A and B are shown apart, each in its own frame.
Chain A
């Protein structure tokens, strides 16, 4: 951190302003194995459905350790602001599933009552969906030497807080999410294409990722303000990670109303020739994921 101080002295002047710390933004940098994303097939299904979960780790070769997987059964209280309940950080609310880079498991059948709109009998408050109308079952991954990670598995639940006709229409028109698919990455240096195995040292490389138009799906959404069904388009985000050199940013994306199908980032290649790792994750706003790992070879 390099705190920046702005000192102002000006007659009649002011700076009713605070001084802010500036953290070195290197969240794109990975220097050890950690979970970057989890892909589920299918991306969205009803609770109890069979899924294949695959962890995406920041390793270039076979990992020395594999994640340990557990479902969390604790819903988040209203007093907490995080994505999952603090109880999911302990062990009492975890349902162990096993270990491995990938895992096959059925999601808990009680997902829509624990994490969705199906409140138990007795007049309890249904949980609120996210802005895409989704509800999520937390899935915890513990990897030795890394922070705990949580995958939020989208579960398909009924529309509980709408008129019966609207809920029926929603059930008929809503198409469960599909994982997006990344096109191969392209690289250019000074506007000229360059192979990932032929990157000049210290070069500023523009990396571009794209996806097909169909990957940003449109879906039926229940607008609670209008009490009516409407259509939304998925927003897309790409997370970038490298183990050497530097990136402009760790995250780029397109909003739901942005029809562009590509994003770019810049990587400053190291001066030292060698092979370096690049990991990219494409996420859609309904929790769908695709990822790819690349080896960037820097030449003298």
Chain B
């Protein structure tokens, strides 16, 4: 079942998206496309921000550098900074990775990529689309002061189907079947092979810098057709990652061990019914579990953080037409997390944004322990109007985000004294407005503004390592842009953006912080910039895009302190990719450029006679940058029609074909007198096969 009429679905299937009666390019939804005839539809368009970039999964996975993984296409989009090598972080419009969210069918999952960033956590064959909203999104989503990525799973085909994929990274399979008239099911799984592949080629041990990831994920989907235009979908999916590294030394005080595991499971049910006039009702309760464990030792100094969280939520929405020009959506977005957390070691690990340290520096000698429980509940009713006034479309929305924040202790544990918990209620009124003006058939303007909030991280609510009384972090997003259809299937969009962050949780900079007050909620940040996207679609077999973002992201740790660059700031990010199809062959290339992220200069060192180690003396925070990154990738794929319904795709990706040595980190000699660079991925050839039946 689907919301959209058949005629419109046909257009979507051809790679377009219908937006309020005219067809937009699939990628830049806000840009017009004069070459495609206007289509009038009777349904109600899905409410989306004009800033969303939505790609079909099939198209996304064919782009160079994605390794046949649709979600990897995010790297090619504007507004997305390059994540550090091997991290898979989602850095959108200058926001920290922890401030952005990932959704599958509207259900939040904790990570888009497996720990290393090489693969997404959801099998690409199950996906219908990938949508990027770097900011200023509508009232139906929240709990994030950054941006979001949404993955939509596809409608299961009417008949039996299978997809098997094998690459040097992993092996995966997805099998689907029809059970009777109304039921369709699909089961899939993936198992990472990277550690085995590395052993096969006797790769060198670089455990000091990067851990080789081991990962697996699974998906199951059951689709039940009820009445006409009514469906029930049950999805179970999960992911698990682990990595371990050991750096040996003859001095036990210098032996380093670290093991990390993280995983999640989600089970959700989605009821969906559309009516003849396009009205929609959908309800999706969900339940899940997140686990993560970091266990390290630096000599005898331990550093451990373990979290187990029960996650639950409900998303419900009713969308109906008030009159011919007005559509009203009413919904509720509820999410909760009950977490058990245990942490041991120094306050300085895990590091926080803005901390003064150098890569590889051991944590401080200080050590403590805490075990605590949190309950973070967010109940957010929302309402949105879609109002069409001739060429102007206005989408005002209001989200009222109520937070219940509970921590099991408001002071550190002493002996067997019973704990006194901390509980607080917060209500955030979050108005949002999205506007689009169609100036001509080729030109459209759009703007968006809104208030956003997110709950504090559960791990920050420790009475020993954090502050149990932290409240929500807040943001203001604003954007203004224009999209132009330059020619048939050639579009340009330009978007300026601004984001102001407040009440961020930051370390208390005073030498003597308050009890149970290691963190303050006084951090301030801002990011602003402009992004460009030029896209050519299907021009004599050529498709390509050029995305460029110029931005600046700053933070102030207290309202009184001077602004400094955000740790992940990248002022220039460019990604250009193109593919040419020649019958069954497709040849593609991708060039990425990003200037380096900020680092704090080491201006000297002193000798710590207790640990017999030198320690760095720092200059101004984030006053220098790593060298710029650039990388050229090539992709060649070939499709083989094996039978009427059997398709084999073979692809070869040559990553970093120029073998450019990209500096990923600075490292220092023991006395900090010499500086060296850890360089990233060298020239790598990566091959894979995908068989679809």
Q: Assess A225 versus B369: contact at CB under 8 Å? Given A152-B609, A162-B415, A255-B252.
A: yes
Q: Does B595 contact A (CB under 8 A)?
A: no
Question: Closest approach, in angstroms, between the C-beta of A75 and any C-beta of chain B?
Answer: 4
- Pair A35/B664 contact, Cβ less than 8 Å: no
For the complex, what is the distance from the CA of A129 to the CA of B250, rounded to whole Å? 26
Q: Does B610 contact A (CB under 8 A)?
A: yes
Q: Assess A124 versus B612: contact at CB under 8 Å? Given A12-B686, A251-B251.
A: no
For the complex, what is the distance from the CA of A221 to the CA of B165, rounded to whole Å? 55
For the complex, what is the distance from the CA of A11 to the CA of B689, rounded to whole Å? 13
Q: For B205, give the chain A residue with the smallest CB separation.
A: A17
- Pair B679/A19 contact, Cβ less than 8 Å: yes
- Pair B253/A253 contact, Cβ less than 8 Å: yes
- Pair B206/A83 contact, Cβ less than 8 Å: no
Q: Does A20 contact B (CB under 8 A)?
A: yes
Q: Does B263 contact A (CB under 8 A)?
A: no
User: Which of A1-9, A44-52, A204-212 forms part of the interface with chain B?
Assistant: A1-9
Q: Which of A23, A89, A129, A150 is in CB contact (< 8 Å) with B676? A: A23
Q: Does B87 contact A (CB under 8 A)?
A: no
- Pair A128/B347 contact, Cβ less than 8 Å: yes
- Pair B507/A81 contact, Cβ less than 8 Å: no
Most buried by A among B86, B416, B608, B661: B608
Question: Closest approach, in angstroms, between the C-beta of A219 and any C-beta of chain B?
Answer: 14
Q: A residues 105-136 with Cβ under 8 Å of B?
A: 119-120, 123-131, 136
Q: Does B198 contact A (CB under 8 A)?
A: yes
- Pair B679/A82 contact, Cβ less than 8 Å: no
- Pair B118/A16 contact, Cβ less than 8 Å: yes
Per-position binary interface string of chain A over residues 171-206, scored 1 when its CB falls under 8 Å from any chain B CB and 0 otherwise = 000000000000000000000000000000000000
Most buried by B among A5, A9, A18: A18
Q: Which residues of B contact A79 (CB under 8 A)?
A: 354-356, 507, 509, 557
Q: Which residues of A contact B250 (CB under 8 A)?
A: 248-249, 251-253
- Pair B367/A128 contact, Cβ less than 8 Å: yes
- Pair A254/B661 contact, Cβ less than 8 Å: no
- Pair B516/A125 contact, Cβ less than 8 Å: yes
For the complex, what is the distance from the CA of A173 to the CA of B401, rounded to whole Å? 54
Q: Does B678 contact A (CB under 8 A)?
A: yes
Q: Which residues of B contact A3 (CB under 8 A)?
A: 676-677, 679
- Pair B206/A20 contact, Cβ less than 8 Å: yes
For the complex, what is the distance from the CA of A19 to the CA of B86, rounded to whole Å? 13
Q: B residues 221-276 with Cβ under 8 Å of A?
A: 249-254
For the complex, what is the distance from the CA of A166 to the CA of B417, rounded to whole Å? 13
Q: Which residues of A contact B652 (CB under 8 A)?
A: 11
- Pair A150/B210 contact, Cβ less than 8 Å: no
Question: Closest approach, in angstroms, between the C-beta of A110 and any C-beta of chain B?
Answer: 12
Q: Does B518 contact A (CB under 8 A)?
A: yes
Q: A residues 55-83 with Cβ under 8 Å of B?
A: 74-83
In this complex, how many residues of chain A approach chain B with their Cβ under 8 Å: the count is: 86
Q: Which of B200, B201, B509 is in CB contact (< 8 Å) with A77? A: B509
- Pair B415/A166 contact, Cβ less than 8 Å: yes
Most buried by B among A19, A74, A76, A255: A19
- Pair B685/A75 contact, Cβ less than 8 Å: no
Q: Does B334 contact A (CB under 8 A)?
A: no
For the complex, what is the distance from the CA of A136 to the CA of B606, rounded to whole Å? 17
- Pair B612/A15 contact, Cβ less than 8 Å: no
Q: Assess A21 versus B612: contact at CB under 8 Å? Given A81-B355, A125-B517, A149-B606.
A: no
Per-position binary interface string of chain B over residues 651-684, scored 1 when its CB falls under 8 Å from any chain A CB and 0 otherwise = 0100000010100100101110010111111111
Q: Which of B198, B364, B414, B686 is in CB contact (< 8 Å) with A81? A: B364
- Pair B194/A18 contact, Cβ less than 8 Å: no
Q: A residues 222-260 with Cβ under 8 Å of B?
A: 224-225, 227, 235, 237, 239, 248-256, 258
For the complex, what is the distance from the CA of A235 to the CA of B686, rounded to whole Å? 47
Q: Assess A89 versus B606: contact at CB under 8 Å? Given A83-B365, A224-B368.
A: yes
For the complex, what is the distance from the CA of A75 to the CA of B687, rounded to whole Å? 55
Q: Does B512 contact A (CB under 8 A)?
A: yes
Q: B residues 183-226 with Cβ under 8 Å of A?
A: 194, 197-198, 200-201, 203-204, 206, 208-210, 212
Q: For A22, give the chain B residue with the smallest CB separation.
A: B676
Q: For B612, give the chain A residue with the smallest CB separation.
A: A239
Q: Which residues of A contact B670 (CB under 8 A)?
A: 23, 25, 27, 250
Q: Does B508 contact A (CB under 8 A)?
A: yes
Question: Closest approach, in angstroms, between the C-beta of B510 and any C-beta of chain A?
Answer: 6
User: Which of B89-97, B135-143, B427-435, B615-623 forms part of the interface with chain A?
Assistant: B615-623
Q: Which residues of A contact B85 (CB under 8 A)?
A: 18
Question: Closest approach, in angstroms, between the C-beta of A137 and any C-beta of chain B?
Answer: 11
For the complex, what is the distance from the CA of A163 to the CA of B416, rounded to whole Å? 8
Q: Does A285 contact B (CB under 8 A)?
A: yes
- Pair A237/B513 contact, Cβ less than 8 Å: no
For the complex, what is the distance from the CA of A12 to the CA of B655, rounded to whole Å? 12
Q: Assess A17 versus B203: contact at CB under 8 Å? Given A79-B509, A149-B606, A237-B612.
A: yes
- Pair A14/B609 contact, Cβ less than 8 Å: no
- Pair B209/A150 contact, Cβ less than 8 Å: no
Q: Which residues of A contact B667 (CB under 8 A)?
A: 20-21
Q: Which residues of B contact A85 (CB under 8 A)?
A: 511
Q: Assess A5 versus B507: contact at CB under 8 Å? Given A23-B669, A285-B300.
A: no
- Pair A6/B367 contact, Cβ less than 8 Å: no
Q: For A39, give the chain B residue with the smallest CB separation.
A: B609
- Pair B417/A163 contact, Cβ less than 8 Å: yes
- Pair A149/B607 contact, Cβ less than 8 Å: yes
- Pair A78/B508 contact, Cβ less than 8 Å: yes
- Pair B512/A120 contact, Cβ less than 8 Å: yes
- Pair A8/B507 contact, Cβ less than 8 Å: no
Q: Does B605 contact A (CB under 8 A)?
A: yes
For the complex, what is the distance from the CA of A150 to the CA of B615, rounded to whole Å? 10
For the complex, what is the distance from the CA of A190 to the CA of B652, rounded to whole Å? 55
Q: Which residues of A contact B344 (CB under 8 A)?
A: 225
- Pair A16/B679 contact, Cβ less than 8 Å: no
- Pair B356/A16 contact, Cβ less than 8 Å: no
For the complex, what is the distance from the CA of A45 to the CA of B558, rounded to whole Å? 38
Q: For B208, give the chain A residue with the smallest CB separation.
A: A20
Q: For A150, give the chain B residue with the smallest CB separation.
A: B608
- Pair B302/A131 contact, Cβ less than 8 Å: yes
Q: Which of B203, B515, B604, B676 is in CB contact (< 8 Å) with A8? A: B203
- Pair B610/A35 contact, Cβ less than 8 Å: no
Q: For B342, give the chain A residue with the smallest CB separation.
A: A225
- Pair B251/A237 contact, Cβ less than 8 Å: yes
Q: Which of A128, A165, A281 is in CB contact (< 8 Å) with B368? A: A128
Most buried by A among B414, B516, B652: B414
For the complex, what is the distance from the CA of A84 to the CA of B508, rounded to whole Å? 17
Q: Which residues of B contact A19 (CB under 8 A)?
A: 206, 661, 678-680, 682
- Pair A147/B614 contact, Cβ less than 8 Å: yes
Q: Which residues of B contact A25 (CB under 8 A)?
A: 670
Q: A residues 259-291 with Cβ under 8 Å of B?
A: 281, 283, 285, 287
Q: Does B2 contact A (CB under 8 A)?
A: no
Q: Which of A152, A224, A281, A287 is in CB contact (< 8 Å) with B369? A: A224
- Pair B251/A38 contact, Cβ less than 8 Å: no
- Pair A81/B511 contact, Cβ less than 8 Å: no
- Pair B253/A235 contact, Cβ less than 8 Å: yes
- Pair A82/B364 contact, Cβ less than 8 Å: yes
- Pair A281/B612 contact, Cβ less than 8 Å: yes
On B, residues with C-beta under 8 Å from A are 85-86, 116, 118, 167-169, 194, 197-198, 200-201, 203-204, 206, 208-210, 212, 249-254, 300-302, 344, 346-348, 351, 354-357, 361, 363-369, 371, 412-417, 507-518, 557, 604-612, 614-618, 652, 659, 661, 664, 667, 669-671, 674, 676-687
A-B contact pairs, 18 of them (CB 8 A): A7-B659, A14-B168, A16-B198, A19-B206, A20-B209, A77-B508, A79-B356, A79-B557, A81-B364, A82-B615, A83-B608, A119-B512, A141-B609, A163-B416, A235-B253, A249-B251, A255-B252, A283-B612
Q: 9 smallest A-B Cβ distances: which pairs? A: A163-B415, A21-B676, A128-B366, A255-B252, A251-B251, A224-B369, A149-B607, A152-B610, A130-B365
